[in-house]
Amino acid sequence: MGSANTNMSLKMPEVDTSVVSRRDDIINRLRQIVPPGPLGEGVIDDPRALRAYECDGLSAYRQLPMVVVLPETTQQVSKILAYCHENGIKVVARGSGTSLSGGALPLADAVMIGLGKFNRVLEMDFDNRCVVTQPGVSNLAISHAVAHRGFYYAPDPSSQIACSIGGNVAENSGGVHCLKYGLTTNNVLGVEMVLMNGEVIRLGGKHLDAGGYDILGVVTGSEGLLGIITEVTVRILRKPETARAALIGFPQVAAAGDCVASIIGEGIIPGGMEMMDRPAIKAAEAFVHAGYPLDVEALLIVELDGPQAEVDYLIGRVQAIAERLGATHFRLSTSDAERENFWAGRKAAFPAVGRLSPDYYCMDGTIPRGRLPEVLTRIAEMSKAYNLGVANVFHAGDGNLHPLILYDANNEGELEKAEAFGSDILKLCVEVGGVLTGEHGVGVEKRDLMPTMFNETDLNQQQRVKCAFDPDGLLNPGKMFPTLHRCAELGRVHVHRGETRFPDLPRF
C-alpha cells in the first residue's frame, strides 16, 4: 500500500503494560535461548534495527515490535514459545514479511519470531516426488533446487522470489496457476510445528491424507494463529513439456468473461488464465512494452501447458472460441521468450499501476466468474463516487479479482477514502456469492469485514479451533477475528431443549 505513514486507525488488542515493563528481562531470557551464532544476532532490541520489522507488505500499518528473536533450530522455537506461554507473552511469527494483509504486523507487547535463519532445503526426494525444507526458504528457491531434474513446486504467488514457504503455508498462498494445480493447501504434504506451549508436533509426511482429523489442512492458511511451522514437506511436479500463451483482446468485458466461461465449459483447464481491464492494460504496456493491444476493453492471457501435442490441439480450440465470441485481437506466443514477455506485463501490473499514482491499494476478493461484468460495472460506479481511479487485474480462471485503487496518501483523508472504497468492493464480492479474500489472507486488513461473510456462530466455531491450539490467545492476536472471545466463554454450552424453535417437535 504505497508509502503511507503509520495510521493506526486500526484497533489492536490492548497493550499489556506488565509485559512491556518486563522488556529487559524478556530480552535477557531470549538471549539465553538464542545466543548470537554464525548466522548473526539472535535477538534484536535496538529500536533502529527493529524498524526493519515494523510492517509487512501492508505498509499502511506500522508498529515496532517489543523485541525480535531469530532462532535457528526447532528446539529454540520450542523454548521461546514455552517461555512466552509460561509468562503470558504474546508472539507474532514472521517469514519474509511479504504479507499483503498485515498478517505479520507486530504488536507493541509481543515477541516477534523471525524465521529467516531456517533457510535450508533439507531433502529432495524425487522418487517420492517431494521436498522437505525449512520454512524460511523462498517459494522460488524450492523450484530452483529441483529444476536440474525437471521438477518444480507449483503454487507461484507473485512475490515468489521473496516469500517464504512457511509464510505460504500460513497464508495458503495461491498464484496464477491455481486453477490447474491448486493452492498451497493442495500441495503441502506435511509440517513440523511448535504449539504455543512449546510442544513440537508433526502433521502429515510423505504420504497422502491424514490418518485421523486433517489437522494439517486447518493449520494451512491459519495465518500464524495456531502454531509456528519449523519444517515443511511439499509435493513437487514434473515441469510441463511445453507451454504457450495467447493474448486475446475483446471490445467488451462481458465478451472476455464469456470466453473464460466457454473455455472452461468446453472442458479445457488452462495452466493460467488472467484478465486485465483497460486501465491495467494501459499501465502495464507503458511500463514493460509487452505488446498489449491498447484498443480493447479487456485482455486475456490464456496459457496452456503440457505435452506439445496437447498444447497445440488446445490452443486451436481456444482460438476458435475466442473468434466465435468476437475477439478483436489474438496473438500466440511463438517462443518461450515471447510467452514470458506476455506475462511480464501482467506480473508487473502492480508496479505499473504504481507509476500512475503516488499510492495504490491492492484488493483481493473472489467472485463467481460469471458475475464479473456486473462487478466491474459496479466498481466503475464506485470509482466515480469516491473520485479515485481503479485498475483491475483478475485471475479469471478461478474468479480472484485484484482491483488496484489509486490514491495519494499526502492528500488529507484520501487513504481513509481508499480503504472505504476497498471495503465496498469486498462487500460487493460477498454480495454476489464470493469471498473477502482469495489469496492474500484476512490479517488485520479484512479482519473487521469478517462479519459480512460469517455470522457470530460461524466465527465462534472458527475461534474454538484456535482454543484447541492456543487457549490463552497468545499467538498473533488481533489478526483474522474482529473480536477474540475467551476460550472459557466459547466452551460453554448454552443450549437447552426448551429454547429450541420447535421444543415439542415429535422425534420424526
Partner 1 sequence: MKPTSETDVLDAVVAAVADETRLEIAGNGTKRGWGHEVVASEILDLSGLSGITLYEPSELVLTAKAGTPLRAVTAALDEQHQQLAFEPPDFGPLYGAAPDAGTIGGVVGCNLAGPRRIQTGAARDHLLGFRAVSGRGELFKSGGRVVKNVTGFDLSKLIAGSFGTLAAMTEVTVKVLPQPEKIRTLLIFGAGDADAVKAMSTALQSPYEVSAAAHLPAEQAGRSSVSYVSGSGGSVTAVRVEGPGPSVEARLAGLRQQLSGYGDLEELHSSNSRTLWAELRDVAPFLSGANDMIWRLSVPPMSGAEIIADLSLPLEFRHFYDWGGGLVWLSTPAGKLNAASRLRQAVMETGGHATLVRAPDADKRETDVFQPLSSGGGALTARLKDNFDPRRVLNPGRMYRDL
Show contacts with partner 1 in window 446-485 (CB under 8 A).
446, 450, 453-454, 457-462, 464-469, 480
Least distance from C-beta 270 to partner 1, angstroms? 12
332 binds partner 1, rule: CB under 8 A: no
User: In which element (H, E) is residue 440 found?
Assistant: none
Alpha carbon distance 456, 51 (integer Å): 37
**Polymer length of the chain:** 508
Indicate whether 259 belongs to the interface with partner 1 (CB under 8 A): no
205 binds partner 1 (CB under 8 A): yes
- Stretch of residues binding partner 1 (CB under 8 A), selected from 73-81, 175-183, 320-328, 352-360: 175-183
Other C-beta atoms closer than 10 Å to the C-beta of 431 total 13
What is the C-alpha to C-alpha distance for residues 502 and 205, in angstroms, rounded to an integer? 47
Name the pairing type of β-strands 188-194 and 228-235: antiparallel
Residue 384 or residue 496: which is nearer to partner 1 going by CB? 496
Tell me the one-letter amino acid at 120: R
Nearer to partner 1, 62 or 395 (CB): 395
Residues 61-120 that bind partner 1 (CB under 8 A): none
On the CB side of 244, how many CA atoms lie within 13 Å of its CA? 18
Please pick, from the candidates 172, 230, 333, 476, the single residue that binds partner 1 as defined by CB under 8 A.
172
Handedness of CA 91, 97, 100, 106 (dihedral sign): positive
The reply to whether 199 sits near partner 1 by the rule CB under 8 A is yes
Rg (CA), the chain: 24
Question: Smallest distance from the beta carbon of 261 to partner 1, in angstroms?
Answer: 4
Give residues 385-444 in contact with partner 1 (rule: CB under 8 A).
395, 398-400, 433-442
CA-to-CA separations, 187 to 149, 152, 201, 398, in angstroms, rounded:
19, 11, 20, 17
From its phi and psi, is residue 212 left (phi > 0), alpha (psi between -120 and 50) or beta?
beta
Q: In angstroms, what is the minimal distance from the CB of 214 to partner 1?
A: 5
C-alpha–C-alpha distance, residues 59 and 39, integer Å: 27
The CB-side HSE value for 355 (13 A sphere, CA atoms) comes to 13
Question: Can residue 129 be called a binding residue for partner 1 (CB under 8 A)?
Answer: yes
Per-position x/- string for 356-375, each x denoting binding to partner 1 as judged by CB under 8 A, each - no binding: ----------xxxxx-----
From residue 301 to residue 320, what is the string marking binding to partner 1 with x (rule CB under 8 A)? -----xxxxx-xxx------
Of 63 and 172, nearer to partner 1 (C-beta) is 172
Subset of 269-288 contacting partner 1 (CB under 8 A): 269
Which of positions 25-54 make contact with partner 1 (CB under 8 A)?
A: none
Task: List the one residue from 24, 46, 241, 416 that touches partner 1 (CB under 8 A).
Answer: 241
- Alpha carbons 404 and 389: distance in angstroms, whole number: 8
Q: Which of 64, 82, 200, 380 binds partner 1 (CB under 8 A)?
A: 200
Name residue 65's amino acid.
Answer: P
The three three-digit cell numbers of residue 132, written as one number: 522437505
- CB of residue 203 to partner 1, shortest distance in Å: 7
Taking CB under 8 A as the criterion, the residue among 65, 95, 190, 478 binding partner 1 is 190
